[in-house]
Amino acid sequence: MAQCVQSVQELIPDSFVPCVAALCSDEAERLTRLNHLSFAELLKPFSRLTSEVHMRDPNNQLHIIKNLKIAVSNIITQPPQPGAIRKLLNDVVSGSQPAEGSVANVITAGDYDLNISATTPWFESYRETFLQSMPASDHEFLNHYLACMLVASSGEAEPVEQFSKLSQEQHRIQHNNDYSYPKWFIPNTLKYYVLLHDVSAGDEQRAESIYEEMKQKYGTQGCYLLKINSRTSNRASDEQIPDPWSQYLQKNSIQNQESYEDGPCTITSNKNYDSNLLSLDGLDNEVKVDGLPNNFRAHPLQLDPSSDTSNSIDGPDHVKSTSSLHETKKANIGIIHGACLTLTDHDRIRQFIQEFTFRGLLPHIEKTIRQLNDQLISRKGLSRSLFSATKKWFSGSKVPEKSINELKNTSGLLYPPEAPELQIRKMADLCFLVQHYDLAYSCYHTAKKDFLNDQAMLYAAGALEMAAVSAFLQPGAPRPYPAHYMDTAIQTYRDICKNMVLAERCVLLSAEILKSQSKYSEAAALLIRLTSEDSDLRSALLLEQAAHCFINMKSPMVRKYAFHMILAGHRFSKAGQKKHALRCYCQAMQVYKGKGWSLAEDHINFTIGRQSYTLRQLDNAVSAFRHILINESKQSAAQQGSFLREYLYVYKNVSQLSPDGPLPQLPLPYINSSATRVFFGHDRRPADGEKQAATHISLDQEYDFESSQQWEELEEEVVALVNKGVIPSNFHPTQYCLNSYSDNSRFPLAVVEEPITVEVAFRNPLKVPLLLTDLSLLWKFQPKDFSGKDNEEVKELVTSEPEMIGTEVISEFLINSEESKVARLKLFPHHIGELHILGVVYNLGTIQGSVTVDGIGALPGCHTGKHSLSMSVRGRQDLEIQGPRLNNTKEEKTSIKYGPDRRLDPIITEEMPLLEVFFIHFPTGLLCGETRKAYVEFVNVSKCPLTGLKVVSKRPEFFTFGGNTAILTPLSPSASENCSAYKTVVTDSTSMCTALTSSASSVDFGIGIGSQPEVIPVPLPDTVLLPGASVQLPMWLRGPDEEGVHEINFLFYYESVKKQPKIRHRILRHTAVICTSRSLNVRATVCRSNSLEDEEGRGGNMLLFVDVENINTSEAGVKEFHIVQVSSSSKHWKLQKSVNLSENKDAKLASREKGKFCFKAIQFAAQSSEKYTFADIIFGNEQIISSASPCADFFYRSLSSELKKPQAQPSVHTEKQSVEDAVKLIQKCSEVDLNIVVLWKAYVVEDSKQLILEGQHHVILRTIGKEAFSYPQKQEPPEMELLKFFRPENTTVSSRPSVEQFSNLIKTSLHYPESFNHPFHQKSLCLVPVTLLLSNCSKADVDVIVDLRHKTTSPEALEIHGSFTWLGQTQYKLQLKSEEIHTLQLKACFVHTGVYNLGTPRVFAKLSDQVTVFETSQQNSMPALIIINNV
């Protein structure tokens, strides 16, 4: 139970006090009425004695009474109606609420921290009023009148006669059988005569003389002169006198209902008491809790405790109409009580009570106790034995049992008033009232036995109850509190006597006693046991106290506390005590909150919402309903639907209270703020027929970190080129789409008149669909002039000004149950300045009829838009995005700090040009190396001219706009006939084998010295694109050399003609996806020619071997490939002629066929560093001019991308510079700079039509003798090596040229007749002259050793070479100067005819300043065969 102001030792004596009746004459009543008080009310504040009182018990022992209080009340001849009591108790509880600033107790139990109100003043008020308003009953005498004050005024004509009348009236009420109420303790009631004297108006001497007369007649102990009204009421304002009455009168005790009567004789009859009270009992009337209407008819089984005979509630003569009483009560508010009384008068009243108690009441009680004690002692033997004898006599036969039973009612036997058992009970009650608990206990104990013997259950229960209380209150606690007495009493009252009022009193007292002994568990069980359906108010209060018992235990039972608080709240609600119900639910909520009891939490929040709404605490109601909706609810769809409708209904009422106030925050749907994306720019136009728009950026694309890095690199590349190789310090990559991955630390830049799209991610957590209507963005805009002067006018929320910012409104946006959905909302800025996007604003509602939550579908014809709204409220949700966590400095790492996220705060800048790019006839599939012509259309859709248009791509070899020559040279007629991408010239067939040459400079094709091949300027006419203008340019494409799917990124860069301070340039992205399939595979090798003819170029002859293989698998429908032309391109070499031996002119390759070509190449003097000479060898009848666009473009692009690849340069670690030079010289020997372009046509059958595709492959030859390929070779992954855990001893290895490079130093050539005729029969030895030519290919001096001895002397080897020998010197040592040719004349000697290989001389070479010697491998490459004939 909660803490109380009074301890139980104070509470019980204050609840059971001696009762005194007051009977006043009309005049006396009038005197007290001047103070707006009745006589009984006048005495109330002074009814507690200020000093101890002494009296003697029957054994003549002195007994001290402390803090004695008496209760004076006007005589009422009608027992109080149960309904009136119930109404009063209801008012008392509702009138007592927790104080506004009261400090709550904080209780920590386990992981709960609860704020609980420590005291429950409403319960204490209820208990006090309940105990005071208990009707008197016959089985106990505690609240029977012990005395009666007869009050008359000194101003009356005959006061003494008036006293006689009053005395007779009292006697009539007590002894006449017409009045069963009030109850009197003993027949001989003490009468105390009080003469009221009005000091301000009356005659004091007369009063004194009357008092003397009274003393003569009634004795000094039996009368009193009370002087009051020392001042007149109109002087009340002069001095402030305290008002001790208000606290008593506000409690409105049940006796006050008659206190406004003028006198005892004007008792009016009111048969319609019920109906009058019903009109007052509005709360109980509305809430029919028990299934019975809440009027004042008692429970059919409940006995009226007020009387034995008349059980009727419509009993006779109630005092006054309650409605008039109610009005009087209303009028009483603000009335000053005791206005004619001074502080002296207060003291006089206090003195009067003291005198009355000391001289009148206590002596009377003492005398009565003695009398009763004597009676009992004297009659004990006789009556006890007589009574038991009577019993035995009656019980001799079984018949008299009935007669005893006839005396019983449902609560057992009824005793006559003079029965000795009742005398014991009377004595016990008297002792209890004067706090003589020892004697009281023994008397109760005795009476209890007698009553139980007689089966008088009501009497026995009463004795048990009081015996238990007396035992507890005994000084020194000689015996423990007999709780089982109380349990028996409660059970008897409740089950046998059906008297819940008495049972309730027992429970209230016993629980308080148990609480004082810290037996909270027993107290809680007791309180819960008395909760029943017959009274919601009682059940609610007791359940609440039980909850407090659970929380006050040594180890608090928090969940039990919460559960019983919920039960109490429910009962309070049924009893109409809405405020208390709400308080109970709120206190219980602390326990259930956030612990995963979601359904319980929903129930509590729903109830709190409902109760708050009823009490017009609308904000609380909204917040409670909000909680139900935003937690991940486990409720069914129907329940969620009803919660949502309830919430909307409450919300609507709240918003109607302040229609002009700020928009409220709505809890639904959830918004994932960090997933908000912002896109600056127009939506992409879809493809239009053959026109395909650039992909650019859109909100439909997923974010990819790698690709965004690639785009940034491309942009940096082009910006660096524009700014002469340096990226400006203030450069930031352009971001058109901002999301949680982008860098949002700076204010983004948006362009005026270009839309801003905000994508908001909504999620509906409920199982019912949500319909958002009139959904738009909420923003704040500050117009600014960035040119200098600030326009300080700040317009907050200028949503009503569309000329600044246009706002798109989505009329209906439906989010289905548990769906995540994004809404794209647009703003159209029409003015420069700073924009802040704050959030979204919308009407929240549900669809009617989509989920038939109420079991009723939507009504036909009530659809407004696509969906029909049941109810909606307007509100907002803010978009608050938390920036990235900072983690750079030490301070940031140790604390949690977040950077800004400014994606919703764009700066609107001045107009910029806007480019749109369309691709026409752009292919999606190509053969590797295939060339195709397409067109690109550039459109300026803004109002500003644009310039400086460039395109940058990581794959420049994929496309070209043509070189400078492309615009000058129109396509030849034959090319346009065949739709060829190439520029062609018809040739005659005779020139087939010889080369046609032309030259071109790489500068013409944008591949200059030091330029970046990736950045390609777009050749716009006049370099400017005016507003609204469009330009179509041809674009040649070449399929990448690797098969598969290729994503090729183009970034178009452009600037405004007028320079802007904020935005320097703009970009447009396009990703082309090309699928390539296999076509041809070209391999080429180049080797030195052995022949020394045409020696103008000093050994400048090469043989070029080209292998072309058709590796196309026929899925692309390619029938065959024709090699139409092979061209060379080089600064030093050119193809001279084809040396194919076969006469087959057309080079056709069907699937998987391979063709071999051999060409002769010759060296020439370079014209300039950038001039390339193109030589074309034609296999058809049309020459493709390889030095023109697009053939040369693609060649240059592939060349530049090849050059970009890292060349495997041997690392040089030698000390001497000479070694390095030598190495370079040797390496240069084997280098060649020759590039081959193979042009082909492919015949494709598609949809029974034959198409001709064309293309080109490039082979770049760098080294003599090394095979080169047209497609990139796959690198074999190196084999795993074991880890070495030691350092290599010597890391500096002197670099040497490879054997291969050395072998190319010297070119050797043997000159001899192919066949030689010799008459062996004449001369047995045949001598043949042979010339050995040695040519130094390098620019250095070379030492040469020619060794003519055969390598091996084994017989097998001799067989191979044939037996011939060289005559003369076997070894020559020579030194060849730079590029010198030396001739050696040799002689070979033969003895037989046959075919011999003369290629046996071994040539060794070394650089003059080097030591190492290497053998040249030149002569081993081809046999030098000679035929020796005999003639």
Which of 63-67, 427-431, 1333-1337 has the least mean pLDDT? 1333-1337
Q: Comparing 1397 with 971, which gets the higher pLDDT? A: 1397
> pLDDT, tens digit, for every residue of 612-646?
787 787 777 777 777 777 767 788 888 888 888 88
Contact status, residue 914 vs residue 1025, Cβ threshold 8 Å? no
Q: Which of 556-560, 1009-1013, 1117-1121 is most confident?
A: 556-560
- What token pair was written down for 359? 């001289």
Contact status, residue 20 vs residue 46, Cβ threshold 8 Å? no
Per-residue pLDDT at 68 exceeds 60: yes
Rounded mean pLDDT of 735-745? 88
Confidence of residue 383 (pLDDT cuts 50, 70, 90): very low
Per-residue pLDDT at 820 exceeds 60: yes
Which of 180-194, 611-625, 1031-1045, 1348-1362 has the least mean pLDDT? 1348-1362
Q: Give pLDDT, residue 568.
A: 93
| SS3 category, 826 | strand
Q: Give pLDDT, residue 1022.
A: 83
Say which DSSP state 1423 is in. -
Per-residue pLDDT at 600 exceeds 90: no
Contact status, residue 1365 vs residue 1380, Cβ threshold 8 Å? no
Residues of the chain with pLDDT > 90, as a percent, come to 22
Per-residue pLDDT at 695 exceeds 80: yes
Confidence of residue 667 (pLDDT cuts 50, 70, 90): confident
- What token pair was written down for 979? 């739709």
> pLDDT, tens digit, for every residue of 157-200?
888 899 999 999 999 988 888 788 888 888 889 999 999 998 88
- 């292998």: which residue's tokens? 1107
> pLDDT, tens digit, for every residue of 1088-1130?
776 655 444 455 678 888 999 888 876 667 878 888 888 988 8
**CA–CA separation, 841 and 838 (whole Å):** 10
Q: Give pLDDT, residue 968.
A: 41
Give all strands of the β-sheet with 1133-1138 in edge-to-edge order: 1133-1138, 1154-1163, 1101-1110, 1080-1088, 1268-1269
Per-residue pLDDT at 477 exceeds 60: yes
> pLDDT, tens digit, for every residue of 847-860?
865 443 333 333 33
Confidence of residue 313 (pLDDT cuts 50, 70, 90): very low
> Phi and psi (nearest 5°) for 1279?
-70, 155
Per-residue pLDDT at 1017 exceeds 80: yes
Confidence of residue 1288 (pLDDT cuts 50, 70, 90): low
In order of 1028, 1089, 1172, 1241, the CA distances from 1138 in angstroms are 54, 14, 21, 20
**CA–CA separation, 485 and 500 (whole Å):** 17
- What token pair was written down for 697? 């950026």
Which of 308-317, 578-587, 1074-1083 has the least mean pLDDT? 308-317
Per-residue pLDDT at 262 exceeds 90: no
Q: Comparing 267 with 1326, which gets the higher pLDDT? A: 1326
| SS3 category, 490 | helix
Q: Which of 65-79, 842-856, 1142-1156 is most confident?
A: 65-79
Rounded mean pLDDT of 399-424? 60
The number of residues making up the chain comes to: 1431
Rounded mean pLDDT of 1167-1184? 79
Rounded mean pLDDT of 969-988? 56
How many degrees, rounded to 5, is the angle at CA 217 between CA 215 and CA 219? 45
C-alpha 1285 chain-centroid distance = 54
**CA–CA separation, 568 and 1 (whole Å):** 13
Rounded mean pLDDT of 604-608? 81
**CA–CA separation, 966 and 1192 (whole Å):** 10
Q: What is the DSSP string of 728-781?
A: -TT-----SEE-TTS--SS--EEETTS-EEEEEEEE--SSS-EEEEEEEEEEEE
> pLDDT, tens digit, for every residue of 448-462?
998 999 889 999 999
Q: Give pLDDT, residue 21.
A: 93
Rounded mean pLDDT of 381-404? 37
> pLDDT, tens digit, for every residue of 191-241?
999 999 988 888 888 899 999 999 998 888 889 999 888 777 665 455 667
Confidence of residue 103 (pLDDT cuts 50, 70, 90): low
HEC letters along 492-549: HHHHHCCCHHHHHHHHHHHHHHHHHCCCHHHHHHHHHHCCCCCCHHHHHHHHHHHHHH
Say which DSSP state 795 is in. B
Per-residue pLDDT at 480 exceeds 50: yes
Rounded mean pLDDT of 113-140? 87
Contact status, residue 877 vs residue 840, Cβ threshold 8 Å? yes
Per-residue pLDDT at 1170 exceeds 80: no
> Phi and psi (nearest 5°) for 1360?
-65, -50
Backbone dihedral region for residue 874 (phi beyond 0: left; psi -120 to 50: alpha; all else: beta): beta
Q: In whole numbers, what is the pLDDT of the chain averaged over residues?
A: 78
Contact status, residue 680 vs residue 756, Cβ threshold 8 Å? yes
> pLDDT, tens digit, for every residue of 1235-1268?
999 999 888 887 778 888 899 999 998 888 888 8
Contact status, residue 562 vs residue 591, Cβ threshold 8 Å? yes
- As a dihedral over the C-alpha atoms of residue 905, residue 907, residue 908, residue 914, rounded to 10 degrees, the angle is -100
**CA–CA separation, 950 and 1013 (whole Å):** 12
Per-residue pLDDT at 327 exceeds 80: no
Which of 366-375, 1065-1074, 1134-1143, 1378-1387 has the least mean pLDDT? 1134-1143
- What token pair was written down for 61? 């022992």
Per-residue pLDDT at 889 exceeds 90: no
**CA–CA separation, 507 and 528 (whole Å):** 10
Helix axes 273-280, 322-332, angle to 10 degrees: 40
Q: Which residues contact 560 (CB under 8 A, 6 or more apart)?
A: 547, 550
Confidence of residue 821 (pLDDT cuts 50, 70, 90): very high
Q: Is the pTM of this model over 0.85?
A: no
Q: Give pLDDT, residue 1293.
A: 42
Q: Comparing 100 with 296, which gets the higher pLDDT? A: 100
The sign one gets for the Cα dihedral 315, 317, 318, 323 is positive
